[in-house]
A and B are shown apart, each in its own frame.
Chain A
Amino acid sequence: MPEVWVIVEHEGGQASRVSWELMDVATELAAALSARPAAVILGEGARALAETAFSYGAATAYVAEYPALTPFTTDPHCQVLSALAREHQPAVILLGATTRGRDLASAVATDLLTGLTADCTHLEIDSETGFLRQTRPAFGGNIMATIITPDHRPQMATVRPGVFPLPDANPEASGEIIEPGKKLDKQLKPELDPATLPVRRLDFVPAGEAVSLAGAKVIVSGGRGMRSGKNFALLEELAAQLGGVVAGSRAAVDSGWITHQRQVGQTGQTVRPVVYIAVGISGAIQHLAGMQESDVIVAINNDPDAPIFDVADYGIVGDLFEVLPALTAEAGKRRTATSAGSAER
């Protein structure tokens, strides 16, 4: 039976959220192809993660825990993935469009001499041809392109984190674990000598703050109009009242007002919160590319002609230094009223 593979990205057994978002997509594509969704998990902790992969829909988990695979570097992971793909001939391979996924996917597609489509935002199976239709933004988000790989297999794609929702996990689900067979093992082992890896990881410095924009329901985001990093406190106050997190545009990051980890847009993260509040953000196409999948967009800007209003469900034209305190105060009043109300009940 053909398979649709998801390459699970993890660090010491902690999987990144996008891997499970992809498991849901893979399950859908597999159904259309009468194929089986499978997870590929490499490195220390792979075996333990297989159960999680099953709970998110994988029918099969390919695992390999060769010492050279931990910590992650491209070459050994590429060797193992390419070898597994040659042996099992999956129809489709999906990876997260993360710094690691894009790096690894490029190497594997080069080895397998097949097509790779980056940063997909929509994937579907063409019902006539059975080809994977891969849709992605190009030219900075000004156009969308649908791309196919008609004559080469596997069809490879990276998918931006946060574009697809996280599926519900079914802890009852189970599946089959497959480890490299004898032949593959014999072929791979000499290639995977930890002493001769071309790239070595010497150190890792985690980002100063862990920010989960991907899972946030409400995002309050600031741009050039905020004028200083200090003023981001106004956004923090509003976010606190709405149960949200603070993000920013590229201009805010370039000005040093917030960290890159909080950047939304083409060169930052893609987010799809329930409510996205853009404050002092003009709405350059590169920014829109990262947030236009939000359920509801609110724009606050003093320029009535700012392009952000063209995509906003609700617009407030005004001085953000007047609007933000007013909005925070009103949200605070309602929150107090709600909690007082529930206390009485």
Chain B
Amino acid sequence: MAIHSVVCIKQVPDTTQVRIDPETGSLIRQGIPSVINPFDLYAIEAALYLRDQFGGQVTALSMGPPQAEESLRKVLGFGAARAVLLTDRAFAGADTLATTHALAAAIRRLDSEMPVDLVICGKQSIDGDTGQVGPGLARRLGYSQLTYICSLDKVDLEARTITAWRQREDGRELLEADLPAALTITEACNHIRYAALPDLIAAQTMAVETWTADDIEVDRAQLGLKGSPTRVKKIFAPQARQRGEMLTDNSPEPAAASTLLLDRLSERGLIGDA
């Protein structure tokens, strides 16, 4: 008995450095380093943890430009046995719906080669921030849908179920789901391991497989920009708030600055009659 997990990862720009070109209004991506989406690291760890507990295999899957191979190689270094990169112009410009079509088709192929028990994703990417691909994959594949998982409780391979805690705004709920299931994992789920040196060395000689749209069974009309119902109409810099009054410029003492602040707030009727 063993578990085959497919971990979906995304190579993303380090979003803290992404800006808009004020001249052209387009995104400046040049010179911005790419990283594995940080939330996906928790998904990778969850998959490796389950492999360590139950045996089996971790397969890493990503869709992106050829450079995303670098991120998949890192996942091989963490201990994944296989890595597949979906890369093709046909995938370009995909929104979350078109992305789920491509990834689901790839997972179906992986499943036909070795039955898949779990698809594991990070809770969201840091560039798109939507959190829609994980649950979209669950629905597309007909797998049990478990999002915002903050703790794995148990896997019963006889009964073919997984039990896990899901984070909600008002608490946590324990869910039991039939396998196969698609999970999205939060940062509370685990601590990320460091890649072991032998794995890192081995990863250098392992190949990241590259699949194009021809390698998966999918309707091309559902891929890329063509298969995306949403269109980005415009992008713009968030409206900047104005830097206001530095109270300590004229009233450096804490007591004087406090008095001034409370004067300002009550002048504007913001405090005082709670």
Count B-side interface residues using an 8 Å CB cutoff. 80
- The answer to whether A110 and B172 have CB atoms under 8 Å apart is no
Q: Which residues on the B side are within 8 Å of A147 (C-beta)?
A: 230-233
- The answer to whether A109 and B173 have CB atoms under 8 Å apart is no
Q: Indicate which residue in B139, B228, B235 contacts A110 across the interface (CB closer than 8 Å).
A: B139
- The answer to whether A115 and B246 have CB atoms under 8 Å apart is no
> Within 8 Å of chain A (Cβ to Cβ): is B224?
no
Report the separation of the CA atoms of residues A105 and B139 in the bound assembly, to the nearest whole angstrom: 11
Report the separation of the CA atoms of residues A330 and B144 in the bound assembly, to the nearest whole angstrom: 56
Task: With both chains docked as a complex, state the minimum distance between the C-beta of B150 and any C-beta of chain A, in angstroms.
Answer: 9
- The answer to whether A140 and B176 have CB atoms under 8 Å apart is no
Task: Tell me what chain B mostly uses at the interface: helix, strand, loop, or mixed.
Answer: mixed
CB-nearest residue of chain B relative to A106? B135
Task: With both chains docked as a complex, state the minimum distance between the C-beta of A158 and any C-beta of chain B, in angstroms.
Answer: 9
Q: Which residues on the A side are within 8 Å of B145 (C-beta)?
A: 74-75, 103, 107, 198-199
Q: Which residues on the B side are within 8 Å of A141 (C-beta)?
A: 238
Q: Which residues on the A side are within 8 Å of B266 (C-beta)?
A: 334
Q: Indicate which residue in A117, A198, A311 contacts B177 across the interface (CB closer than 8 Å).
A: A198
- The answer to whether A143 and B232 have CB atoms under 8 Å apart is no
> Within 8 Å of chain A (Cβ to Cβ): is B56?
no
Task: With both chains docked as a complex, state the minimum distance between the C-beta of B260 and any C-beta of chain A, in angstroms.
Answer: 8
- The answer to whether A323 and B254 have CB atoms under 8 Å apart is yes
- The answer to whether B229 and A198 have CB atoms under 8 Å apart is no
- The answer to whether A312 and B229 have CB atoms under 8 Å apart is no
Q: Indicate which residue in A100, A202, A312, A334 contacts B243 across the interface (CB closer than 8 Å).
A: A312
Report the separation of the CA atoms of residues A145 and B168 in the bound assembly, to the nearest whole angstrom: 27
- The answer to whether B233 and A143 have CB atoms under 8 Å apart is no
Report the separation of the CA atoms of residues A202 and B163 in the bound assembly, to the nearest whole angstrom: 9
Task: With both chains docked as a complex, state the minimum distance between the C-beta of B16 and any C-beta of chain A, in angstroms.
Answer: 6
Task: With both chains docked as a complex, state the minimum distance between the C-beta of A27 and any C-beta of chain B, in angstroms.
Answer: 24
- The answer to whether B231 and A148 have CB atoms under 8 Å apart is yes
A106-128 near B? 1/0 per residue, CB < 8 Å = 11011101111111000000000
- The answer to whether B244 and A118 have CB atoms under 8 Å apart is no
Q: Which residues on the A side are within 8 Å of B245 (C-beta)?
A: 313-315
A253-297 near B? 1/0 per residue, CB < 8 Å = 000000011000011010000110000000011000000100111
Q: Which of A39-47, A163-171, A203-211 contacts B (4 or more CB under 8 A)?
A: A203-211
Q: Indicate which residue in A74, A207, A296, A316 contacts B171 across the interface (CB closer than 8 Å).
A: A207
- The answer to whether A330 and B259 have CB atoms under 8 Å apart is yes
- The answer to whether B127 and A138 have CB atoms under 8 Å apart is yes
Q: Which residues on the B side are within 8 Å of A242 (C-beta)?
A: 271, 274
A305-345 near B? 1/0 per residue, CB < 8 Å = 00001111111111100110111011100100010000000
Task: With both chains docked as a complex, state the minimum distance between the C-beta of A253 and any C-beta of chain B, in angstroms.
Answer: 10
Given contacts A106-B135, A142-B15, A199-B177, contact A205 B172 (CB under 8 A): yes
Q: Which residues on the B side are within 8 Å of A138 (C-beta)?
A: 127-129, 235
> Within 8 Å of chain B (Cβ to Cβ): is A98?
yes
> Within 8 Å of chain A (Cβ to Cβ): is B146?
yes
Q: Which residues on the A side are within 8 Å of B244 (C-beta)?
A: 297, 312-315
Q: Which of B46-54, B64-72, B93-101, B198-206 contacts A (4 or more CB under 8 A)?
A: B93-101
Report the separation of the CA atoms of residues A12 and B141 in the bound assembly, to the nearest whole angstrom: 30
Report the separation of the CA atoms of residues A116 and B271 in the bound assembly, to the nearest whole angstrom: 40
CB-nearest residue of chain A relative to B227? A113
Q: Indicate which residue in B13, B168, B254 contacts A99 across the interface (CB closer than 8 Å).
A: B168
- The answer to whether B96 and A116 have CB atoms under 8 Å apart is yes
> Within 8 Å of chain A (Cβ to Cβ): is B140?
yes
Report the separation of the CA atoms of residues A319 and B252 in the bound assembly, to the nearest whole angstrom: 11
- The answer to whether B271 and A142 have CB atoms under 8 Å apart is no
Q: A116-B132, A145-B234 are in contact. List 6 more A-B contacts (CB 8 A).
A: A74-B147, A138-B127, A206-B170, A218-B274, A266-B129, A298-B261
A-B contact pairs, 8 of them (CB 8 A): A99-B169, A148-B230, A205-B174, A207-B170, A292-B238, A316-B261, A318-B252, A334-B272
